[in-house]
Copies of this chain bind each other. A is one copy, B any other.
Amino acid sequence: MSQGSGNTPPKRPLTLRDVSEASGVSEMTVSRVLRNRGDVSEATRAKVLEAARELGYVPNKIAGALASSRVNLVAVIIPSMSNMVFPEVMTGINDVLEGTELQAVVGITNYKPEREETVLYQMLSWRPSGVIIAGLEHTEAAKAMMGAAGIPIVEIMDTDGEAIDSAVGISHRRAGRKMAQAIIDAGYKRIGFLGTKMPLDHRARKRFEGFTEVLAKSGLEISDSEFYSGGSALKKGREMTEAILKRNVEEPLDFLYYSNDMIGAGGLMYCLDNGIDVPGDIGLAGFNGIEFLDGLPRKLATMDACRLEIGRAAAEIIAKRVESDGSAGGEIITLEPSLEIGDTLKRKKKPV
């Protein structure tokens, strides 16, 4: 029962002192019991636990944190929650943190640098034990804050650039290059690109750069492109695919590279619905390796972004450093994005 089962429950939140009085044990010892710290006799321990339970006492971490300057929070700052990639990163982070005292606190930036700065400031003001933040690009002020925070900072997703402290991710340039090479090797030549209207999505930009760079080396370039924003990605994928194909009937495209799997899946459906031979007439590829591709009629070629693994590794870096009391310096972990050929990136029937 809570708040003294029977008495009029006092509306003031319970304190350690209340438990101390109810159990006849000093506040300090109560505190020890509640934190499993130091040696306490089994008898006192039982008395205290009983009193705390009986009262319905919930410790005040605010006070505890102030007194001990220890805060078991990890700030996680990500651009969005709505595109399937970050929830999976979160899952990886939580998997690891569940085994520790640490708790993730999430802030969303909507891909806006100023918003990121604000969110970071807010979170740092809670003096978390560490920060996990998406991307390597931040405002000067944000970088300064992180540099001065004196806690482990892990920048995730991307390793193409300078990290403040630690980083875990893949090289998106490399991912773009690798996909371009696979497409070229399969004999495709007239390549269309379909992506999001997101000048601030640096990772998509880097993939694009790597992609075009390799094409250029083979004397190729993007034949046409199409961008979208908002709405159901699957539907947009369909619409964009229709648009780009209809626009290029004279010299038809033979490959479409999508900046994410969801629009890629939409494109795949469009092609299947319209009797277009995939990958004979046209090849397709997306990016991310999201699980639901598994249920499509054909498996879309994609490149795994290692989301779960990134979350795990980032959380581990924080956990390790917290445990080791802040010693140990920054580490950079570059994961290798693996190409998944699927059914939509096979050599054309008649390579030119």
Contacts and interface: CB of A to CB of B under 8 A. Distances in A.
A292 B262 contact: yes
A248 interface: no
Interface residues of A, number: 62
A127 B60 contact: yes
A145 B56 contact: yes
A105 B82 CA distance: 17
A103 interface: yes
A87 B94 contact: no
A291 B235 CA distance: 9
Contact of A144 (B2, B235, B266): B2
A297 interface: yes
A292 B232 contact: yes
A325 interface: no
A291 to B, nearest CB: 5
A342 to B, nearest CB: 14
Interface stretch (A118-126, A157-165, A190-198, A219-227): A118-126
Interface of A: 1-3, 9, 11, 13, 56, 58-63, 65-66, 71, 81-82, 84, 87-88, 90-91, 94, 103-108, 121-122, 124-127, 144-145, 147-150, 231-238, 262, 265-266, 269, 273, 291-297
Given A13-B127, A81-B91, 11 more contacts: A3-B148, A13-B150, A56-B148, A60-B125, A62-B127, A81-B87, A87-B87, A105-B105, A231-B291, A262-B292, A269-B297
Q: Which 4 A-B pairs have the closest CB atoms?
A: A234-B295, A235-B295, A2-B148, A232-B294
18 contacts: A58-B149, A60-B127, A62-B71, A62-B127, A63-B66, A82-B87, A82-B88, A94-B108, A104-B106, A105-B105, A231-B291, A233-B295, A235-B292, A235-B295, A236-B295, A237-B295, A266-B295, A273-B297
